[in-house]
Amino acid sequence: MGKDADNTSKWQVAALATLGMILLLLPQLVSNGFALDIFIRILLFSFIGVAWNLMGGYAKQLSLGHVAYFGLGAYTSTIMQIDFNISPWIGMIAGGFVAMLASLPVGWLCFRLRGPYFTIATIATAQALMLIFLKFRDFAWGAEGTTIPNLGSSPLMMQFETKASYYYVVLGLLVLGLVITWRIERSWMGYYLVAIGEDEDAAEAIGVNAPRIKRHIYMISAFLTALAGTFYVQYIYFIDPATAFSFNISIEAALVSIVGGIGTLWGPVVGTVLLETTSALLQSWLGSSTGGIQLTVYSLILMAIILWRPTGLMGLFNDLWQRHLDRRPARMRTLP
């Protein structure tokens, strides 16, 4: 038994190392801008999905308003950069803390509700934030938004000449998100989160301080989501309320996690690879002019997953792997 477990973990380390090498070398091998753009999108939405999954996946607090923190992160760093000439690297961290602070009152309101009504309340708070940024043009440029001044190659201001550099930044973010998730998954907090996700009342009955745990995980999730917001507006050099608070980002954060496997470390990454690849293929076949096709396909995939594979693609892989192990001749399992 022990040997088997050792072998599995050796395999995992080897697979992880290979994946890491491939991801590090990818921009050196692929110079096509369109392809790099897709890779960056995949990494970015994987990261947003990972941030969402911490709260939505493990604790099953299904938020559809995570774009609130994405937008707050984006606006914080942009305001700091344009009005005070502070580097977006600092702005990014500041945005994370702003999002963390904002998650406290939002959580205080929304956690009063459970299940679907929690979801609705999160949608409403994100929309309300967007309306605020639309209305107050004095400090945030109102509905027109603003372009972010292009300083050419300026790594200290998070501006790069090549797409490959952006790729490495967002790869770093994703690794950060995965490491945090991995640590939490294996800590007492991870078990509390899963207990809350399974049955909140039962978890409280055995002494889990559910409101406190939910508050903490919401803060971590909001912090990470805000980092993605800063990166995104730095990458596209533009910000307006419709972009920074787009409902589609909230949808995609939840979608990639559910399709990939809710409450699993790699689920959001797997889900993003499937959905973003599908979307890129659709775009190259049909052209980007056909509005609605991407989300039509996404919603069909989502429905199929929920009806036939509620554990997502990770669950499917696990089942297939298990079946493969069961099919192996018995002696291969018993002999070293």
Partner 1 sequence: MLETVAQAVINGLLIGGIYALVSIGVTLIFGVVKIVNFAQGEFVMIGMYISYFLATYFGVDPLLSLLVSMPTLFLIGVLVQHFLIRRVLGPNDMPQIFLTFALSLLLLNLALLLFTANYRTVHTSYSDEALHFGGLYIPEAKLIAFVVAMALSGALWAFLHTTDLGKAMRAAAQNRDVATLMGINSNRVFCVAFGAALALAGAAGSLLMPFYSAYPFVGQVFVLMAFVAVVLGTLGNVLGALVASVMMGIAESLGIQFVGADSGLIVVFAMLLLTLAFKPQGLGGGRMR
Residues that bind partner 1 (CB under 8 A): 60, 62, 64, 109-110, 112-113, 115-117, 119-121, 123-125, 127-128, 131, 135, 251, 254, 258, 262, 290-296, 298-300, 302-303, 306-307, 310
- Residue 45 DSSP SS3: helix
To partner 1, the closest distance from the beta carbon of 282 in angstroms equals: 12
The rounded Cα 151 to chain-centroid distance in angstroms is: 28
**Residue 101: partners with Cβ closer than 8 Å, 6 or more residues away:** none
Please identify, using beta-carbon distances, which residue of 10 and 135 lies nearer to partner 1.
135
Q: What is the dihedral of CA 318, 319, 320, 326, to 10 degrees?
A: 110
CB of 151 to partner 1, least distance (A): 35
> CA 83, CA 6: separation in Å to the nearest integer?
55
Closest CA to 314 of 267, 275, 277: 267
Question: Could you tell me how many residues make up the chain?
Answer: 336
**What is the rounded CA–CA span in Å between residue 229 and residue 88?**
11
Nearest approach, Cβ of residue 241 and partner 1 (Å): 13
- Which of residues 167 and 218 has its CB atom nearest to partner 1 in the complex? 218
Are residues 192 and 199 in contact, defined by beta-carbon separation less than 8 angstroms? no
Q: What's the min distance (Å) between Cβ of 195 and partner 1?
A: 15
Instruction: Return the number of the residue (35 or 295) whose C-beta is nearest partner 1.
Output: 295
Toward partner 1, which CB reaches closer, 23 or 295? Answer: 295
**Closer by beta carbon to partner 1, 61 or else 77:** 61
For the CB of residue 119, give the shortest distance to partner 1 in the complex, in Å: 6
**Structural Rg of the chain based on CA atoms:** 21
